[in-house]
Amino acid sequence: MRTMKLWYAMALSLILTEVSAQRPTAIEPIPSPQQVAWQQMEFYMFVHFNMNTFNGQEWGYGDTPAQTFNPTQLDTRQWARIAKENGMTGIILTAKHHDGFCLWPSEFTDYSVKNARWKKGKGDVVADLAAACKEYGLKMGVYLSPWDRNHPDYGRPEYITYFRSQLRELLTNYGEVFEVWFDGANGGDGYYGGANEVRKVDKQSYYDWPNTIKIVRELQPKAIVFSDAGPDCRWVGNEDGRAAETTWSPLLRDKVYPGMPEYARQYAKGQENGTHWVPAETDVSIRPGWYYHPNEDDKVKTLQELLDIYYESVGRNTTLLLNFPVDQRGIIHENDERQLKKLTAQLQLDFEEDLVSGRTVTSTKKRGKGARYEANHTTDGDYETYWTTDEGTTSASLTIDFEEPTTFNRFLVQEYIPLGQRVKRWTLEAQIKGEWETIDSQTTIGYKRILRFEDVTATKVRLNILDARSSPLISTIEVYNAPAVVDVPTVRRNKSGEVSLLAPDDEVQIYYTVDGTEPSLQSASYTQPLLVDKPTWIKAIAFDPKTQRLSDVQSVHFDVSHRRWSSELPEAIDENSGSNAVLTQNSLTIDLGEELVLHGFAYTPDQSRYPHGVITNYVLELKSTSKNPNIESNRWRPVAIGEFPNMANNPVRQEIRFNEPHVARFIRFKAKQLVTVGEEPIVAEIDVITE
């Protein structure tokens, strides 16, 4: 009998242990396996390449002739190679944008590549990309605009049949598709087969989205469907590349529809009480525009900007869809590839060595007595294993002992999302010289959260879960010590002639020259702004003494400073191309403050994303106060009359050289013609050329 009781007690203990260690209860909503696989893709490429590439627009009207589409070196293998080499996992292509032009030879419209000059109408960009993605082991997605500014039936029931027929073409003929992208822009002015009118639609009902999405489920059951309302992933709410610090994957999906005006403000962050799992996707372009424009060749995002985007998207529980505006050759521009490589190289350095990999982790609370959910699972490198606590426990701590003082500045943590997003509030602490100090306080975690902070040297690090929707499930903890960011210095001059050299990281040193020679570590070290009052070439490099890394050379030329200049429109001479002067009288007069020998002048138009008041034709007049008998004083004399070339398509700084030098103290710039009739002329900057 005693033996029976002992056996029974042991069996009961084993049963209770198994019950207490069984898989935690899922907290609804939870992701589908396809959504988990999509989230694990993390970083993939958007390609905006279509008719807009050739007509210089962002949203084409739909009336540009199909023959206009004519890339000279189209190479989808180049796109795929660049994506693969830089850690991207897929490519989504704008197969049809709002203007209705199709990058595949659609059976249902003449407005497609089958009527383009490219390949004499025999080309198929979607097929080319599908083959390239397969070759490089990438997944392919398609963007199909619901709005079509070309189609005569848009806004009528007949268009929905056309739209769905095109969707079937894309999802049937090109292999597996990982994401179908539906834009929220729907309805407005357009060509519409020659009607040239405004057509509005009911965004909630016109497309009959439930039945449209059934087509995706039928033809591509593994595909994720994107729109403001999902159903599978949602817009992050902006085009800046930044997710909110609090980002929930659950969404009140039934309250959202594509193009919803209040979406970004009310729903983009997701909701703790969301009814459906609809994680956010962060879409942003590597340039100001989504499509290629030559004037943006020097406006590709800097390394620091790209790093901020990565940490504030992938590092805030979203995926990152980084756009590349393929140029008129049909390839990704060299400047764009160069910046992407810089981002990839820096991220490899940032996450080169996990300082807690395989280390012992202790927890204040755990689940049952088994080893299935122990704290050490958070540092074992396996996402499918995790630490958790008993059901209903919503707070606990995890501590990792470095065993010696260790410096770090990155903290990565992941929840096990197949069972739902749980953590609502948490802090990160470090034990520094025996005392615990709070490094950061945060809200959500989700699939992945990455914190950046100043260097911390500590013996221990502690994650405190302060509140959760249910027992927290932490799959991964990683800690890194990222090196300083080394990129070309930013060179700026103000109206006083002071030039500042700026590095993206305080730990980086800057060396420069002002005599035209190449800078080195033996050149002058930058410590404070330089006075540059006369024509000067400044060349600068950044250097990280810890890693011995050097940046490329940054070369910037300055002419005479504007320190002595004056004008009735000071924004035109403040050496800041981000400020504008509106020429209400179509002219601008500048006092240079002294007699100068002028060899020419330069005009910078409005540099905003959608520039206004761009001047194409000009007159420049000079006046002198010199006593030289060979110079006509106190009288305006025209010295340059002409046109700024290609300003409609390339509104960038234009330099005009005179046939011969002129001595003058005053200049008067007159706008004679603009790109857009009826606008007021705008000047961002006027400069002179003195050599």
First to last CA, the chain: 109
DSSP 158: H
CA 18 → CA 118, 387, 470, 596, distances in Å? Answer: 66, 16, 20, 89
User: What pLDDT, on the 0 to 100 scale, is given for residue 185?
Assistant: 87
Stretch (H or E) spanning 35: helix 33-39
How far is 595 from 351, CA to CA, in rounded Å?
57
pLDDT digits (tens, 9 = 90+) for 286-345: 998 899 999 889 889 999 999 999 999 999 999 999 999 999 999 999 999 999 999 999
Number of H helices and E strands in the chain, helices first, is 10, 35
**Can you name the residues that pair with 323 across neighbouring β-strands?**
46, 285
**Any idea which of 5-9, 459-463, 464-468, 499-503 has the lowest mean pLDDT?**
5-9
Distance of CA 17 to the CA centre of its chain: 49
Tokens in use for 612? 């206004």
pLDDT digits (tens, 9 = 90+) for 227-259: 998 999 999 999 989 999 999 999 999 999 888
DSSP 233: B
CA 691 → CA 498, 516, 536, distances in Å? Answer: 20, 15, 10
User: What pLDDT, on the 0 to 100 scale, is given for residue 650?
Assistant: 77
pLDDT(629) > 70: no
Which residues touch 203 (CB under 8 Å, ≥6 apart)?
184, 186, 187, 257, 258, 259, 260
Q: Which single residue is written with the structure tokens 């008998």?
A: 629
Q: What is the mean pLDDT of the chain?
A: 94
pLDDT(570) > 60: yes
How far is 670 from 433, CA to CA, in rounded Å?
68
Select the more confidently predicted residue: 626 or 133: 133
pLDDT band at 625 (very low <50, low <70, confident <90, very high): confident
Q: Is the pTM of this model over 0.95?
A: no
Report, as an integer, the average pLDDT of 500-507.
91
Stretch (H or E) spanning 683: strand 682-683
Task: Tell me whether residue 287 is exposed, middle or buried, using C-beta atoms within 10 angstroms of its C-beta: 0 to 12, 13 to 18, 19 or more.
Answer: buried
603, 669 in Cβ contact below 8 A? yes
pLDDT band at 627 (very low <50, low <70, confident <90, very high): low
How far is 316 from 374, CA to CA, in rounded Å?
26
477, 410 in Cβ contact below 8 A? no
CA 302 → CA 228, 335, 671, distances in Å? Answer: 29, 11, 34
Report, as an integer, the average pLDDT of 120-134.
98
pLDDT digits (tens, 9 = 90+) for 73-107: 999 999 999 999 999 999 999 999 999 999 999 99
pLDDT(9) > 60: no
435, 467 in Cβ contact below 8 A? no
Q: E-assigned strands of 326-446? A: 361-363, 387-388, 396-415, 423-432, 435-442
